[in-house]
Chain A
């Protein structure tokens, strides 16, 4: 007759002021890095911040954060563990970093389950690291999360932007708020992507330079915070 999980999901976000999905039509554009840097920089400005990794088949925020051995607490549902000052929820708490081979319907069920059991404390921001594309996870978020806003990541590549454009059109059609688009991994600044984004009536939030020092900072948030990449994400975060 009815799935009781769906009835409780909207209420799980009652204590969260803003819910920002960091998303992209394409994989490999640095979405997870942007999501983590954004969460850390908002936290550094005295906000209460949560980070939810919904990329179940390729979760990576725990690797960026160097977070190991975390396990949620049980209290009438589950409370996310805290790492680097962030309330942090990821499937790796349960998969122990083993492969998670899920087909569409199973992935969707796992997302619903996680959203239904997780009790977020009072947060100024919940940053969601989305899987790439416009598949199950994106559609579930549009269906289930009230007040969700999208921050979309692209690279200067025309291939990345073509997929990002489709995501933007979908979000516009569904009247979902789009904070804007970040152009990541920029080697040579041009106005091409900016113009394309303006052409479809979206907001260009800024360019983030390709920063070779980021790779060495993976697993070390304190090093990440010293990178130019982090500072540029921080500046973008100030404008959202």
Chain B
């Protein structure tokens, strides 16, 4: 997923959560990003900084990357992908739409494209910390 779109989604979700919970100041947003997304930390940090709302003006965005792991549905082989080994075009296609992994990657054991991404796909807001005014 594109870093700016992702940052927009994170800020909107955090803002709505804070509003629903009556949080006046967000202090920390913890985010898990799957390796398959191939998100550039510097770009997303810059985007989050540009998009932050007054409620999150001093919030810390803690970003953690989860390694991408696969399990073949055909032969049950499990493996870990090193996204740095992907060629540029494949890497870019997977960056924008991670499910394109099924187009370009096959099981290293049996060659099947029918595998499950067991870890490292998607983006989650793990926690939001903040303060309510007295």
A-side residues, CB < 8 A to B, are 1-8, 11, 74, 76-78, 91, 94-96, 98-103, 106-107, 109-110, 113-114, 116-117
Q: Is A7's CB under 8 angstroms from B16's CB?
A: yes
Judge whether A106 and B123 touch: CB under 8 Å.
no
On chain A, the residues within 8 Å of B113 by CB distance are 99, 101
Beta-carbon nearest neighbor of B121 in chain A = A109
Q: Are B103 and A8 in contact (CB under 8 A)?
A: no
Does residue B10 face the partner (Cβ distance < 8 Å to A)?
yes
Can you list 14 pairs linking A and B with CB atoms under 8 Å apart? A2-B124, A3-B123, A5-B6, A76-B2, A76-B4, A76-B5, A76-B47, A77-B4, A94-B93, A94-B96, A95-B93, A100-B100, A106-B99, A110-B100
**Across-interface contacts of A96 in B (CB, < 8 A):** 89, 93, 103
CB distance from A171 to the nearest CB of B (A): 26
B81 to chain A, nearest CB (A): 15
In the assembled complex, the CB of B6 is this many whole angstroms from the nearest CB of chain A, namely 7
Q: Which of B96, B97, B102, B125 contacts A1 (CB 8 A)?
A: B125
Residues of B contacting A4 in the complex (Cβ-Cβ under 8 angstroms): 6, 9-10, 12-13, 123-125
Other-chain residue from A3, A6, A76, A102 in contact with B99 (beta carbon distance below 8 A)? A102
The chain B residues found within 8 Å of chain A, CB to CB, are 1-2, 4-6, 8-10, 12-13, 16-17, 47, 89, 93, 96-100, 102-104, 113-114, 121-128
Closest residue to A77 on the B side, CB-wise?
Answer: B5
CA of A116 to CA of B89 in the docked complex: distance in angstroms?
21
Q: Is the interface of B mostly helix, strand, loop or mixed?
A: helix
* B13→A107 contact, CB < 8 A: no
In the assembled complex, which residues on chain A have CB atoms less than 8 Å from the CB atom of B17?
A: 2
- CB-CB < 8 A to B126: which residues of A? 1
A7-B1 in contact (CB<8A): no
Identify the 3 closest CB pairs spanning chains A and B, nearest first: A4-B9, A110-B99, A76-B4
A116 touches B5 (CB 8 A): yes
* Shortest distance between the CB of B79 and any CB in chain A (Å): 17
The distance from the CB of A10 to the nearest CB of chain B, in whole angstroms, is 10
B5 touches A101 (CB 8 A): no
Q: Are A1's CB and B127's CB within 8 A?
A: yes
Given contacts A1-B125, A3-B124, A95-B103, contact A8 B96 (CB under 8 A): no
Contact A101 B1 (CB under 8 A): no
B93 contacts across to A, CB distance below 8 A = 94-96
Given A4-B10, A98-B103, A109:B125 Cβ within 8 A? no
Given contacts A7-B12, A7-B16, A100-B102, contact A113 B123 (CB under 8 A): no
A107 to B89, CA, bound (A): 21
Q: Kindly provide the distance from the CB of B74 to the nearest chain A CB, expressed in whole angstroms.
A: 12
Contacting pair B2 A95 (CB below 8 A): no
Q: Please tell me if the beta carbons of B122 and A3 are within 8 angstroms of each other in the complex.
A: yes
Residues of A near B1 (CB, < 8 A) are: 5, 113, 116-117
**Chain B nearest CB: distance from A23 CB in Å?**
22
Q: Which B residues are CB-close (under 8 A) to A78?
A: 2, 96
Verify B4–A113 contact, CB threshold 8 A.
no
CB distance A117 to B2 under 8 Å? Answer: yes
Most chain A CB atoms below 10 A, which of B4, B13, B97 = B97
Least distance between B45 CB and chain A CB atoms (Å) = 15
